[in-house]
Structure 1
Amino acid sequence: MSPSTKRRLLHTRQVVCTGFEREDGLFDIEGRLLDTKGVATDFPYGTIPAEGVLHYMRIIMTLDQDMIIRQFKAISEQAPTPACSQIDRAYGALVGLRIGPGFKKHVAERVGGVKGCTHLTEMLGPMATTAIQTLAPVIQQRLRQRAASDPDFQMPRHWVIGTCHAYHPEGDAARRASEWRPDDAATDV
């Protein structure tokens, strides 16, 4: 879709999240946030030149197979005030949280508002989704192994049911997810 009116770039925000499996059985979810200015912009602590960096922040969140945060490191490499990087250590309060229902609420309780950084905290939403996507094949493998070794094993309700419009509990996608088993033949999405 091309714009119908001439435009001038003022700001770009890029958030990139990546999931890794570690040799020790844990998983690293890395998030990077980069804000750049399209035009020179004055701030109380100086001027950000055109194409200059306003924010460059990183998070490395280490999880176990149960989606529990085991380590958490926040790094504010570039920020508009000297105080910004002073809050990085506060994110250690997230160690022990499980990514799943209620995660955003628990994050807000621990690092919301003045207890954290708006940008680091906002990055946790896409990082949580990245964690789920990263660990999905591992969880599927674990379910496959359990089903193969235990004939009485009942597959749990698929986690995706009820999470969005497409997976409405009475919809076709939810029905398929409920009936699906990890060893079923895959089809392209």
Structure 2
Amino acid sequence: MKALPHPVAREALHTRRYDFRGYLRADGLFDIEGRMVDTKDYAFPNDWRGEVKPGEPVHDMLIRLTLDDHFTVKDIAVVTAASPFSVCDAITPAFNILKGATIAKGWSRTLRSSFAGAHGCTHHVEMLRAMGTVAFQTIYGWREKVKRESGLSKSEGPPAEAIPGKRPAFLDTCHALASDSEVVRTHWPQFYEPTTGEKKPG
């Protein structure tokens, strides 16, 4: 198993933990839940909370997105359980404007335009950006699971695009999914774009 090189002697100062999970609900909708927790390895004073002890959350923030299988936001819950300022929690109702939005290409742009500057919370927006990719992993993975279990597909590869024949939106979004990569040649040969001088499959 690959790992980072062994570090030099050092002192732990700060930890940020992210936890994102996807669920299929009994009513057929999906819950995408996220949590971010910041802790310090030393005590420090805070004007609002007094002394914040080692390991006590500086930030503890939670989000639940409820989506249908077309990635439409049906509901959202945003909570600030711990923060360095008493006013941090006041912004959470602003995120209700995402109800009815769709997680698709442009999701990050939607978040930037809706919650720019003082109109949002930096940490919640960071979480929502990541939750978009978690939603794709959850819902596309579920679609593939259903197809495999019904005998319609035996693919164990990356999730299929929702609309057959349409170029998947995730192509060219990273090195592995480049149009000229072996991954695309194997799983989406119709969208494979060979490098100069190479013949396209089929």
TM-score by length of 2: 0.78
Give me the whole-angstrom Cα distance separating, in 2, the residues matched to 1:34 and 1:20: 21
* Alignment correspondent of 2:173: 163
* Percent identical: 32
Residue 186 of structure 2 aligns with which residue?
Answer: 176
- Between the aligned partners of 2:70 and 2:110, the Cα distance in structure 1 is 17
Structure 2 counterpart of 1:101: 105
CA RMSD of aligned residues (A): 2.3
Gaps of 5+ in 1: 181-189
Instruction: Quote the offset at 1:95 in angstroms.
Output: 1.2
The aligned amino acid for 1:105 is R
Task: Give the one of 48, 54, 66 matched to 1:50.
Answer: 54
Q: Distance in 1 between matches of 2:132 and 2:53?
A: 33
Aligned ranges for residues 42-121 of structure 1 at < 5 Å? 42-45=45-48, 46-121=50-125
Decide whether the 8 Å contact of 1:158 with 1:177 is kept in 2.
no
Gaps of 5+ in 2: 154-162, 191-202
Q: 1:52 to 1:137 in 2, by over 3 A?
A: closer
Over 3 Å counting, the alpha-carbon distance change for 1:160 and 1:177 in structure 2 is farther
Q: Distance in 1 between matches of 2:100 and 2:18?
A: 24
Give the number of equivalent residue pairs.
Answer: 174
Q: Could you tell me how far apart the structure 1 residues matched to 2:170 and 2:187 are?
A: 8
Normalized against structure 1, the TM-score is what?
A: 0.83
- Provide the secondary structure at the position in 2 that maps to 1:9: coil
